Amino acid sequence: MRGSGIWLKHLNSSGWNTNGTERFYFRPKHERSPFPKEWRMPAQPPHHPAFLSAYAKAWDLWVAMRDGEVVKDPVYAGSLAEAAVGYKASHAFGLLAEITRQRYRAMLENTVDLYGKAQVEQVQRKHVQKDLSRFDGHAQINHLKMWRSFAKYFVVQYALDLDPTDNIKRAATAKTDGHTPWQTSDVIRFRNHFDLQQPVRLAFELLQWTGMRCVDLVRLGRGNITDDGWLHFKQHKTGGPVYVPLHRDLPDFALGMIEDQQLCIKAIQATPKDHLTFMVTSRGASRSEKSVSSWFSKKAKQAGLADDLTAHGLRKFRAIQCAEANATAPQMMAWTGHESLSEVQAYIKKFSKKAVLTSTRQEQKVPTFL
């Protein structure tokens, strides 16, 4: 193919792309190409850098196959597999939270295994919907989020006119309360089963006192304890700061929680100072979020607790404790790191009623005729 002063061998013209540019395929003449359709060039003019880069990749791949080289999982120009590689290396992907990147990588790997050879510009809403139909409920919602983020990238990179994820509705899910919150009896039972010298007890005391997520727990160490007695860390999920009183006086609403505070301090004091982070294995390696979550759940079962009690349930436990103690919404948000005012207000509305009914008449501030 000759044009724009460029000679590109083995290119065949075949119609037009949706953006109005001429459609080309890399098809070596006089030789049978094992992948004729997949060697479709990007929807760009032949002199465009993206087109030339794809052409070079196609040429190298063809030469390798022609010479008998075994090419494992080749990535074809303009394919979803190629787009996935670019997306994972993009600035937008890098801005996602680490846990989100991990999940999206796993989802993308599965999607590429199934549809990696498909051309990006041929992906339509019906194809995304077909992929999503493999899942139900929250799994489908999470995959749709991944598709939307992925599509936002490749629509721009491949100059597409339409986003195939537009107007796809989220799956309907049954409304639940999510993770089961721990009860005071569960807390007592766990403490009775594990003493303060055991690593899982430290994990428990930190989780119950701070209400933090496992993704933050695995990054926590003595360096997070400030000189003026705060346990301070930046949430990995939201980037928001959290300050929990450790070696300092408690606010008035939390005075009834002093035993929890003291047990957290004792658990930290009982832990060796050999590592930068608190959560390490018996071999001294740092625990990952996934490993500490499953490890903690197994320990809870060993203590005879219900199967549905998890580390995240302790986050709810602390939020409920604050709500029952009549903490204000800003106080709860500062302590637990919740950034949704409506979520915190829901805790207050549901659980502060118990405090009102068990307080004195004077605390209720209602008239009495006795």
* pLDDT tens, position by position, 290-307: 889 899 999 999 999 999
Write down how long the chain is.
370
For residues 233 and 224, is the Cβ–Cβ distance under 8 A? yes
Does residue 366 have a pLDDT over 80?
no
Q: State percent of the chain over pLDDT 70.
A: 84
Q: Is the dihedral of CA 187, 189, 190, 195 positive or negative?
A: positive
**Which overall architecture, per CATH, does domain 184-364 show?**
Orthogonal Bundle (1.10)
Does residue 82 have a pLDDT over 60?
yes
**pLDDT score recorded for residue 353:** 58
**pLDDT score recorded for residue 182:** 94
Q: What is the CA radius of gyration of the chain?
A: 28
Does residue 285 have a pLDDT over 50?
yes
Question: How many CB atoms are closer than 10 A to CB 301?
Answer: 11
* pLDDT tens, position by position, 228-265: 999 999 988 888 889 999 999 999 999 999 999 999 99
Average pLDDT, the chain: 83
pLDDT confidence band for 73 (50 / 70 / 90): low
Does residue 362 have a pLDDT over 50?
no
Does residue 196 have a pLDDT over 70?
yes
pTM (whole model) above 0.75 = no
Token pair of 119, please? 């051309």
| Mean pLDDT lowest among 33-42, 133-142, 183-192, 203-212 | 33-42
Q: Which residue has the higher pLDDT, 227 or 357?
A: 227
Question: How many CB atoms are closer than 10 A to CB 160?
Answer: 18
**pLDDT score recorded for residue 238:** 81
Contacts (Cβ under 8 Å, ≥6 apart) of 115? 80, 127, 131
* pLDDT tens, position by position, 143-192: 999 999 999 999 988 888 889 999 998 876 555 557 889 999 999 999 99
Does residue 101 have a pLDDT over 50?
yes
**pLDDT score recorded for residue 343:** 78
Contacts (Cβ under 8 Å, ≥6 apart) of 118? 79, 80, 127
Query: Domain extents for the chain?
Result: 2-66, 80-157, 184-364
Does residue 348 have a pLDDT over 80?
no
